[in-house]
Structure 1
Amino acid sequence: MNGLLQLYGLCVLALFLKMLVISCYQGYFRLRYRAFANVEDAAFVGRAVMVQDLPQVRRAARAWANDLENIPLFFVLGALAIALQTPDDGTGLLFCAFTVARAIHTLTYLGGWQPWRSLAYGVGLACLLVLAAMIGKALL
């Protein structure tokens, strides 16, 4: 197997697991406090519907939404970089940096830690931009 493809696969798996953890984090707080926004969920545990989700659940939902704005772009750009055979060393470094940056972004988002959240976001965005530039160069 191509080493870069294997690294990409590991990064995709790590990002998937990171997003799964956010979902579990939300579920933990909903179950712990038996606080549900959906009628059927609240009825299932014999509680009234929460008009608004718990603060932890709302924050996790925003972190998850931010992931949905960034991680699919990584999936596409990473696959294109491999298909177009961009330089292995630089591409691999960008794959790892993006994955670590997104993990740090999630931790700092859930913790409410600025400016670290913005810095992690910026590093991830920079990785995507450099990947896009490498792909553009390979196409020209």
Structure 2
Amino acid sequence: MGEAIYWYAVASVLLFFKMFAVSAYQGFYRIGKMTFKTPEDAAFVGRAAAGEELPQVQRAARAWLNDLENIPIFLALGVAYVWVGASPGAAAWLFLTFTGARYLHTVFYLSGLQPWRTVAYAVGVVCLFGMSVQIILALP
């Protein structure tokens, strides 16, 4: 297995775990507070549906949406990166830095920490541009 493929696989799995953790975070607050907006979920625990989601759940949902704007782009660029045989040496740095930035972005988002959330986001975007440049340079 090539080095770029290896690091792409590692980053993909780590990003899955991160997104799963955001879902678990939402569930932790919903179950812990027994507060559910969806009527059938509330009825299942013998409660009335809440008028709105808990603040923690709302914040996690926004972090999740941000992931949905960024992680699929990483996954697509990562496939292109591997397919064209872009720099294997840069792959570990780009893929793992992007992944670390997404982890930090989520932690900072859930904690309400600015400007660190924006810094983490920007680091991830720089990695996406770096991947794009490496892909273009690898094309014949």
TM-score scaled to structure 1, two decimals?
Answer: 0.97
Alignment of 1:7-46 (within 5 A): 7-46=7-46
Per-residue CA deviation, residues 49-90 of structure 1 (Å, 9 max, x unaligned), is 111100000000000000000000000101110111111111
Determine whether 1:50 maps to 2:50.
yes
Shift of 1:129: 1.0
Q: Which residue of 2 aligns with 1:89?
A: 89
Gapped runs of 5+ residues in structure 1? none
Shift of 1:138: 2.2
Could you tell me which amino acid in structure 2 is paired with residue 34 of structure 1? M
Q: What is the match of residue 68 of structure 2?
A: 68
- Secondary structure of 1:26's partner? helix
Q: Which residue of 2 aligns with 1:6?
A: 6
- Structure 2 unaligned blocks of 5 or more: none
Report sequence identity in percent.
Answer: 46
> TM-score under structure 2 normalisation?
0.97
2:98 is the counterpart of 1:98: yes
Deviation at 1:91, TM superposition (A): 2.2
The one-letter code sitting in structure 2 at the alignment partner of 1:36 is F
Aligned residues of 2:87 and 2:138 also touching (Cα < 8 A): no
CA contact (8 A) 2:84 2:138 kept: yes
Deviation at 1:137, TM superposition (A): 2.5
Count residues in correspondence.
Answer: 140
Q: Distance in 2 between matches of 1:31 and 1:70?
A: 28
Task: Let me know the Cα RMSD of the aligned residues.
Answer: 0.9
Instruction: Give the Cα–Cα distance (whole angstroms) in 2 for the partners of residues 76 and 92 of structure 1.
Output: 16
Higher deviation after alignment, 84-93 or 99-108: 84-93
